[in-house]
Amino acid sequence: MGALRDPDQLGKYQIQGILGEGGMGVVYRGFDPHLARVVAIKTIRRGLLKGRTGDELRARFRREAQAEGRLLHPNIVAIYEFQEDEEGLPFFVMEYVDGKSLKEYLSRGMHFNLEMSLHIITQILGALAYSHREGIIHRDIKPANILLLEDDSVKIADFGIARMEESEFTQTGRVMGTPQYFSPEQRLGKKTDARSDLYSTGLVFYELLTGEKLFGRQGEVGKDFRIGEEHLAKLESHGQEAQRVLKAVMTRVLAPDPIERFQNAAEFASALQPLMVQQEEPVRRRRNLLWLALPVVLVVGAFVVWQQVTPLGTLPNPFLDEPAAEPPVALSGEEQEKVNRLLKIGELHQRVGRLILPEGSNAHAAYTMVLEVDPRNAEARAGMRRVQEQVVEQLNGLIDQGRIQSARDELALARRLFPDNAQLRAMESQIGRRG
């Protein structure tokens, strides 16, 4: 095989087997004896580390670990640490994900219902909104790199070609990635940006809904990147109103010219809002799939970290504290419908990082409107707590990165919205001391 000669151990990690391998490296199943947990370990093939080219590859491997290690998001596979063995072989230690890739489902000829497709795509968009905000483009969004866990949560894997050189060419002149999910600019070897990831996400969305690749054969990809009427017609099974929205969304996100596409993940997610509010119940369990997958476990790795949020504890807040004992608010049918719609909008905003901005269209605003109608709504109260937690986490990230002015601007708004939050108050003093 020529990878690591089947090592028994890398650093403190015991090697239990091979999870996958490619031209650049191998992913092993490992065991951390100190924490008693299974991990995934990604390595570079030793033969690629010779000479100047090897030095450059090792340095790039380390840079990617450092860059992607900044990412803190629950929908991105976690990286735990970066090491080198005694012979100088670099390797990543990553989260072991017990799930199945979307490719596994789709390869069996299935497609997902609208509700489950939206559930998956909004999680992907939330992860991309975050990574793009941090300056990291995935460049290889495809079903094989999207893992669906048993609880229906999603994790994006394999940021392995993220932050590559602008040309994105290997030494042999081949474009890196998967051609069937390329954006037009990727296919042509041009500069890519966040909109390239959105194009690829649109292709995945189409495949979830129809069970078919938009560009069935690799040779078709370069002909015309624009979605045609014959493709849009396959969305008709999802209902007349949903079909109207889906056609508009697909036409825009799959526009050949990046200028005509959604300019960021939040715009893409906002365009899906009419579909979200049409759904009567949130997705909870795997029963929402139209096909039950065989119990095959896929484990892959990526270069990112699980989002850790600092608990806020009990904070005095008129929206968060339990109100004094009083009878529940009796809502009319129209009011209850409004509450349900706003809760779904708030959840969508939260997934893509629209916490308190832009003003009037964010998670905080949606939950506030719910609590104005139903002050005892537990879901809105929980959502508001999560917003506070995530805002604190975002601000800490900005401070750690030295983006003090950006932190000041966001903190000023957060303090107005959450005046009694002790963590925000302490953060204000911390930033003030920096001058």
What residues does each domain of the chain span?
A: 100-153+172-288, 333-433
DSSP state of 99: B
Confidence (pLDDT) at 61: 81
How many other CB atoms sit within 10 Å of the CB of residue 315? 15
pLDDT tens, residue by residue, 23-57: 777 889 999 999 899 999 988 888 888 877 788 88
Q: CA torsion sign, 38 to 397 to 259 to 117?
A: positive
Of 306, 214, 196, 325, the residue nearest 256 (C-alpha): 196
- The yes/no answer on whether domain 333-433 falls in CATH 1.10.10 is no
How far is it, in rounded angstroms, from Cα 43 to Cα 301? 11
Catalytic annotation on 152? Answer: no
| Same fold: 100-153+172-288 with 333-433 | no
Confidence (pLDDT) at 294: 32
pLDDT tens, residue by residue, 326-358: 556 788 888 888 888 889 888 877 877 788 876
- The yes/no answer on whether domain 100-153+172-288 falls in CATH 1.10.510.10 is yes
3-state secondary structure 329-367: CCCCHHHHHHHHHHHHHHHHHHHCCCCCCCCCCCHHHHH
pLDDT tens, residue by residue, 171-211: 334 455 578 898 999 888 888 999 999 999 999 999 999 99
Where do the DSSP E strands lie in 229-353?
Answer: none
DSSP 62-82: HHHHHHHTT-B-TTB-BEEEE
Regions of the chain where pLDDT drops below 50: 1-4, 162-174, 218-219, 221-222, 280-325
Q: Catalytic residue, from 140, 158, 197, 374: name it.
A: 140
In one-letter notation, the amino acid at residue 106 is: L
Q: CA torsion sign, 355 to 270 to 78 to 398?
A: negative
